[in-house]
Amino acid sequence: MLYNNDEETRLINVDLLQERRLNVKKVAIFITSVMTCFIILVGSFFISYNKINEPEDKTQYVSAEPTDKDVANVPSTPEEEKVIKSQHVQIATHSVEKIMSKFIPEYNENAQQEIKDLYFSTEKIAYLTFDDGPSATITPQVLDILKNEGVPATFFVVGKRVEMYPNLVKRAYDEGHYIANHGYTHEYSQIYRSVDTIFEEYINCENAVRAALGIEDYRMYLFRYPGGSAGGRYADLKNQSKDVLNSYGVTFTNWNCMTGDAEGKNTVEAQIAELQATMEGDDAIIVLMHDASDKQATVDSLPSVIGYLREQGYSFRNFYDIF
């Protein structure tokens, strides 16, 4: 009888133990379910929150208003507002025909020699070139004049300014002008620290132009040293850098004619006189001008420059003629 009681008690204890284990299991399952639901709810909340606060478009856009200090400090006039707004006009992109017609520069292993040969050509050709841009007020006016006159030109752009006004670079490109390289900063102390910094300035400017044009593999192939490629305190450094640039397929060019718009020639008469004086004796001319923000005199003189050269029998080309 005692044995039977012990057996019965043992069976009861086993049943109680199993029941307790079952209850613990149920509690564990319940807690796990609650934690899972909590994690799902918290995760859903953060996903929804991030989507709500995330910008619809992560693309970085340049402000519609000019931001450089030289423009910001100029009093706004109705005419200036008209000029500034003109830079935002949508320009049609290249057609396949235009691309096939050399709107994309191509490497030319003989380019340096062909540019040197220009100085000895007996054909009356004028290459109008503009340095130091783009700028918000001057570049659009220059482009308008070139478009009205049907004249191609070459723009030696500064990379930092390309990043400020990519739409102006795109417009110049779309209207058939050659986009060439004038370094990234145009700060001599930065550019001419070493051969490496000259090359870096070239590459940084080229990358800025690629971004502005939306063409990842765009190559410019043509460089103008700030201050020219020879002479001055940086002459040796410039000469050393030419081989490095050449190894990248880059040709450099200077000029043999100018309007003096960077030398204090601030009237139409003075710029035409400087043009006549510096082009004397040359048939093929590379004309140096500027489209920086303080060069309104260049805009005022440009129609007269074009008219005078036409009267002298010149035709106009840009460096697509070589690249």
pLDDT, one tens digit per residue, over 252-276 is 999 999 999 999 999 999 999 999 9
At 231 the pLDDT is 87
Helix (H) or strand (E) holding 258: strand 257-258
Greater model confidence, 15 or 318: 318
Phi-psi domain of 125 (left: phi exceeds 0; alpha: psi -120 through 50; beta: other)? beta
Q: Which of 301, 318, 316 is nearest to 142 (CA)?
A: 301
Greater model confidence, 289 or 21: 289
Residue written as token pair 């004249």: 151
* pLDDT exceeds 80 at position 78: no
Looking at residues 211-231, what average pLDDT do you find? 94
The angle formed by the CA atoms of residues 208, 239 and 259, to the nearest 5 degrees, is: 65
At 31 the pLDDT is 65
At 104 the pLDDT is 85
Greater model confidence, 82 or 238: 238
Bridge-based pairing state of the strands 125-131 and 285-290: parallel
* Cβ–Cβ under 8 Å, residues 190 and 231: no
* pLDDT exceeds 50 at position 9: no
Based on C-alpha coordinates, what's the Rg of the chain? 34
At 68 the pLDDT is 38
- 131 given a catalytic annotation: yes
* Cβ–Cβ under 8 Å, residues 168 and 133: yes
Looking at residues 177-204, what average pLDDT do you find? 97
pLDDT grade for 281, boundaries at 50, 70 and 90: confident
Among candidate residues 88, 131, 243, 321, the one labeled active-site is: 131
* pLDDT exceeds 70 at position 1: no
Mean pLDDT (the chain, rounded)? 80
The first and second tokens of residue 128, run together, are 């109008």
* Cβ–Cβ under 8 Å, residues 293 and 67: no
What's the whole-model pTM score? 0.70
Residue type, 297: A
The first and second tokens of residue 259, run together, are 């309007």
* pLDDT exceeds 50 at position 143: yes
Listed in order, strand segments (DSSP E) in 68-214 are 125-131, 154-157, 178-181
* pLDDT exceeds 50 at position 309: yes
pLDDT grade for 103, boundaries at 50, 70 and 90: confident
Q: Over pLDDT 90: what percentage of the chain? A: 64
* pLDDT exceeds 60 at position 221: yes
Helix (H) or strand (E) holding 317: strand 315-317
Classify 252 as helix, strand or coil. strand
**282-307 pLDDT, tens digit each:** 999 999 999 999 999 999 999 999 99
> What is the rounded distance in angstroms from the CA atom of residue 161 to the CA atom of residue 154?
16
Question: In Å, how far from its chain's centre is CA 300?
Answer: 27
Can the peptide bond before residue 134 be classed as cis, meaning omega within 30 degrees of 0? yes
Among candidate residues 68, 290, 300, 321, the one labeled active-site is: 290
- 290 given a catalytic annotation: yes
Burial label, 148 (beta-carbon count in 10 A; 0-12, 13-18, 19+): exposed
**226-239 pLDDT, tens digit each:** 999 998 999 999 99
Looking at residues 214-232, what average pLDDT do you find? 94
At 18 the pLDDT is 52
Looking at residues 201-212, what average pLDDT do you find? 97
Instruction: Name every residue whose Cβ is closer than 8 Å to that of residue 78 and which is 6 or more positions away in sequence.
Output: none
* pLDDT exceeds 80 at position 75: no
pLDDT grade for 43, boundaries at 50, 70 and 90: low
Identify any residues that bridge with 291 across adjacent strands, giving them in sequence order.
Answer: none
